[in-house]
Homo-oligomer: A and B are copies of this chain.
Amino acid sequence: MTTPDMTRSKAMYALLERLFPICRSITGNGVRQTLTILGECIPLETHEVPSGTQVFDWTVPPEWNIHDAYVADACGNRVIDFQKNNLHVVGYSIPINGRFSREELDEHLYSLPEQPSAIPYVTSYYKAHWGFCLPHCERGRLTDPWYDVVIDSTLAPGSLTYADLVIPGESEEEILISTYVCHPSLANNELSGPVVATYLAMALLRRERRRFTYRFVFVPETIGSITYLSRYKDHLKKHVVAGFVVTCVGDNAKFCYLKSRAGETLADRIVLHVLKHAEPDALIFEFTESGSDERQYCSPGINLPVGSLMRTKYGCFPEYHTSLDNLEFVSAEALAGSLEMYLRCVDGLERNHVYRSRTYGDPQLGKRGLYPSISSKEFAESLRLMINLIAYCDGTHDLLWIADKFGVPLARLVEVADLLTSHELLERVS
């Protein structure tokens, strides 16, 4: 792998750092603020879908916003304070203002006995509820007989906000890149996805030529992708040839891949190929382990070719959905490395053509300067690759299939195909 661009990696981390403090949820100003900041990097188009809109089996919920929240002890000290960490409040908490006995309050507290220093991330989107999250080690200190509880939130008709960006290519065939923007101050899951997706879009926008059209989607998880599909299902089913949900790509661990439901789509093939050569021991998950928006994209009747290339999979790292998934848990290098890995996949797709040999039998490489004029025992590996590539270019198999057949990286085969095409020995079929 080439060394990641140091400037770019730092810029990626800085973007994540800037987004980190915002209190996001599946609706509300946190999402808007986030999309505005990302929109400074790429020309995102933002959309608002009114609360109450029916989207398949779901209804867009009321919009939630929050200004302040705390639990104060008998002396008036804020013992749990939203201002210090937005994870302290259960997502979508209804407004509350009152005095509660310790016992009453306790029923609204969430902590993790096995991770006593971590604030858990808890939400209650679709059932009216309020609550506070705190480190388990602090819970025992709440010994006052009563506490004052304030949640200064609003739950009211508004809208669900998402953004997309379509970068046109030579073909109407689309590569879908989807990520989600509904988590509050959680770094890896999920700000790494929006950051990497944004930089991937930036890289593609800079290109003079793109084979495929690229569709970037920034949505709240689940309700957002369902909303998006309810609007664009038919278009996506017609055009998307491969897609990825970008999530959990900021930690420093190795990559893994979660396969699409169909399991052998172009998305699966390119990632499995790239990983085989870049990280041969990468974990590969079946779709039955799915847990994010690929569930929606792959669902029956939609069935898009969408998988998810991650570092450590959601749910598989102890920091997951806790305050330990913070700015220290992710790194500039990991973000940049994830971008590189996605670019490899994208580049593989861009170059994965089907070729046909323009002659019967081996062509005469010698008259084109492609063959050593003196034949001897040496039969160079590159010559073998050239000859074998021609032998398999029968107009039916794509380069990716041939690369897997040969056990060589696609990128290497692309070079050979380019050389042979320039000598008019191969022609592109698709």
Contacts and interface: CB of A to CB of B under 8 A. Distances in A.
A120 interface: yes
Contact of A362 (B120, B226, B387, B393): B226
A386 to B, nearest CB: 12
Interface in A364-403: 364, 366-367, 373-377, 379, 387-388, 390-395
B301 A357 contact: yes
Contact of A301 (B229, B288, B303, B394): B394
Interface in A144-174: none
A124 B299 CA distance: 61
A363 to B, nearest CB: 4
A11 B298 CA distance: 53
A288 to B, nearest CB: 5
Given A394-B303, A395-B300, A230 B57 contact: no
Given A261-B392, A295-B391, A394-B301, A361 B126 contact: no
B391 A261 contact: yes
A360 B58 CA distance: 10
Given A374-B124, A392-B261, A299 B379 contact: no
Nearest to A384: B288
B300 A357 contact: yes
A7 B392 CA distance: 44
Given A120-B377, A301-B394, A320-B377, A388 B288 contact: yes
Contacts of A379: 291, 315
Nearest to A55: B361
Interface string A212-238: 000000000010011001100100000
Contacts of A362: 57, 222, 226, 295-296, 299
A82 B75 CA distance: 103
Given A299-B361, A391-B261, A122 B375 contact: yes
B394 A360 contact: no
| Copies of this protein, total | 3
Interface string A68-111: 00000000000000000000001000000000000000000010
Contact of A360 (B230, B361, B364): B230
Interface string A250-292: 0000000000010000000000000000000000000110110
Contacts of A303: 394
Interface of A: 56-59, 90, 110, 112, 120, 122-127, 129, 131, 222, 225-226, 229-230, 233, 261, 287-288, 290-291, 295-296, 298-303, 315, 320-321, 356-357, 359-364, 366-367, 373-377, 379, 387-388, 390-395, 405-406
Given A112-B377, A126-B366, A301-B360, 19 more contacts: A56-B361, A57-B363, A123-B374, A126-B373, A129-B374, A226-B361, A226-B362, A230-B361, A288-B388, A295-B387, A299-B357, A299-B361, A299-B391, A300-B360, A300-B390, A300-B393, A302-B360, A302-B361, A320-B377
16 contacts: A57-B362, A59-B364, A112-B377, A123-B374, A261-B392, A287-B391, A288-B405, A290-B388, A295-B362, A295-B391, A296-B362, A298-B391, A299-B357, A300-B357, A301-B357, A315-B377
